[in-house]
Amino acid sequence: MVSDPHAPFELELRVQPDDIDQLNHVNNVVYLKWVQDVAIAHWTAAAPPEAQAALFWVVVRHEIDYLRPALAGDRILARTWVGPATRRSFERNTEILRAGDRALLARARTLWCPMAVATGRPATVSEEVRSAFSVPDD
């Protein structure tokens, strides 16, 4: 389990042959998959088991800036960290880096909504989850 859920969490990935599009670089949709993959990995590594059993998260908004292409064979480092939250919307930030030179390839801001496993509807989270997976809005 991650000791500080506010600290950036990193996940190493590798560009797969199916990630490459007709322009010979990673397709934009793959970047969004990486944003989702690192967020889920962070939740799994940092959230208490009872919260994981009670909640799942759905994306309500993605904003992504594509800065440089990822290419076949690249190792990718996806970094994510939490931002501010409202009652039902939790911000998460992500950077997609090329692992070899740490060049920033993409930057994303995603809003996630917590959902109750039992009902499949938006959920109110515990204070423990709120404090671990959000920061005060400055």
Q: What is the pLDDT of residues 14-63, one digit of tens each?
A: 999 999 999 999 999 999 999 999 999 999 999 999 999 999 999 999 99
Helix (H) or strand (E) holding 111: strand 104-116
Q: What pLDDT score was predicted for residue 2?
A: 76
**In this structure, what token pair is assigned to residue 26?**
């990673």
Cβ-proximal residues to 49 (8 Å cutoff; 6+ apart), any chain: none
Domain count of the chain? 1
Q: Does residue 100 lie in a domain region?
A: yes
How, if at all, do strands 104-116 and 55-66 pair?
Answer: antiparallel
38 is in which domain, residue-wise?
Answer: 9-132
Q: Does residue 81 lie in a domain region?
A: yes
pTM: 0.94
pLDDT classification of 3: cutoffs 50, 70, 90: confident
Q: Does residue 44 lie in a domain region?
A: yes
